[in-house]
């Protein structure tokens, strides 16, 4: 009974979310041509910015209408809210099973893409932004729930590595959906990759990011909507299944060694000066 009353007590939060949805849906799909490229903006992007304007932690005037702690309630409900999205994406896997199986090795090996991200981001973190071991937690993966759990278990939540992984998790939560709503249209406009490869790249281990990415691609390639959704959902599933093992045996050990190498060079450069 208390849980029901608590849920009903959040009516202001539900009203704010309804406002976000209505405004975003009224704006609809927006395509912005930039030269030979076209940026496709989904209603989800506009809902994000409307929600930002209504957030009492961002807009102090809204704190008179919506208590700041309601934002915490919304964050805790996010994992439940994305479940219908996961179910929606999953129904496309069965009918497209043969297409998914045909690209099976690519789905399994795609998790190694974190190595490329690490190769670019670790030098920036250590040499440019002068980060310590926080760089390990920040660059070893996309830092979703599985990665956070492993880092916390190995190093502890209050460790520098834990601080790094949580920093990226928060950035991903805030900006990830926006990034994955815009980037697919930019990359697709280059005509360098097959739509199926782009669909597989949508599977990040985050249902919201995967949904935003696959929906944008489906708007660009409407004739391949079902195949894109199936590959994106399968990729997201494989990322969840294989990501932890890749983290344990490959990416995190390499991140440790890479950080030691870069930090040693930085310390040597500092002593030479």
Q: Put residue 130 in one of left, alpha, beta given phi > 0 → left and psi -120 to 50 → alpha.
A: left
Q: Where are the beta strands (DSSP E) in the chain?
A: 30-34, 37-41
pLDDT at 172: 77
Q: Where are the domains of the chain?
A: 1-81, 95-272
Does pTM surpass 0.75?
no
| Mean pLDDT in consecutive groups of 10 residues from the start of the chain, 273 residues | 49 80 85 65 77 78 72 62 61 59 63 77 90 90 76 82 84 76 81 85 77 83 86 76 75 91 73 59
> What per-residue confidence (pLDDT) applies to 73?
67
Residues 6+ apart with CB under 8 A from 44: 24, 177, 181, 212, 215
Instruction: From 55, 69, 99, 83, select the one nearest 229 (Cα to Cα).
Output: 99
Q: What integer pLDDT is reported at residue 29 of this predicted model?
A: 74
pLDDT at 228: 87
């Amino acid at each position: 009974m208390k849980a029901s009353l608590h849920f009903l007590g959040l009516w202001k939060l539900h009203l704010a979310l309804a406002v976000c949805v209505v405004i975003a849906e009224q704006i609809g799909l927006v395509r912005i041509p930039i030269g030979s490229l076209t940026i496709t903006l989904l209603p989800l992007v506009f809902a994000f910015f409307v929600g930002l304007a209504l957030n009492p932690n961002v807009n102090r005037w809204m704190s008179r209408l919506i208590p700041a702690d309601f934002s915490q309630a919304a964050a805790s409900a996010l994992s439940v809210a994305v479940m219908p999205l996961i179910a929606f994406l999953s129904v496309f896997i069965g009918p497209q099973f043969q297409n998914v199986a045909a690209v099976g090795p690519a789905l399994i090996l795609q998790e190694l893409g974190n190595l490329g991200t690490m190769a670019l981001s670790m030098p920036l973190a250590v040499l440019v932004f002068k980060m310590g071991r926080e760089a390990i937690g920040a660059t070893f993966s996309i830092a979703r729930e599985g990665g956070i759990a492993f880092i916390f278990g190995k190093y502890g939540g209050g460790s520098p590595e834990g601080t790094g992984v949580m920093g990226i998790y928060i950035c991903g939560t805030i900006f990830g959906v926006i990034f994955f709503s815009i980037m697919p249209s930019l990359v697709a406009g280059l005509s360098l990759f097959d739509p199926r490869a782009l669909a597989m790249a949508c599977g990040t281990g985050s249902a919201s990011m995967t949904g935003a990415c696959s929906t944008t691609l489906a708007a660009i390639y409407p004739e391949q909507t079902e195949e894109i959704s199936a590959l994106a959902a399968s990729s997201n599933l494989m990322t969840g299944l294989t990501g932890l093992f890749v983290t344990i045996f490959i990416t995190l050990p390499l991140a440790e060694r890479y950080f030691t190498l870069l930090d040693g060079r930085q310390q040597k450069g500092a002593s030479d000066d």
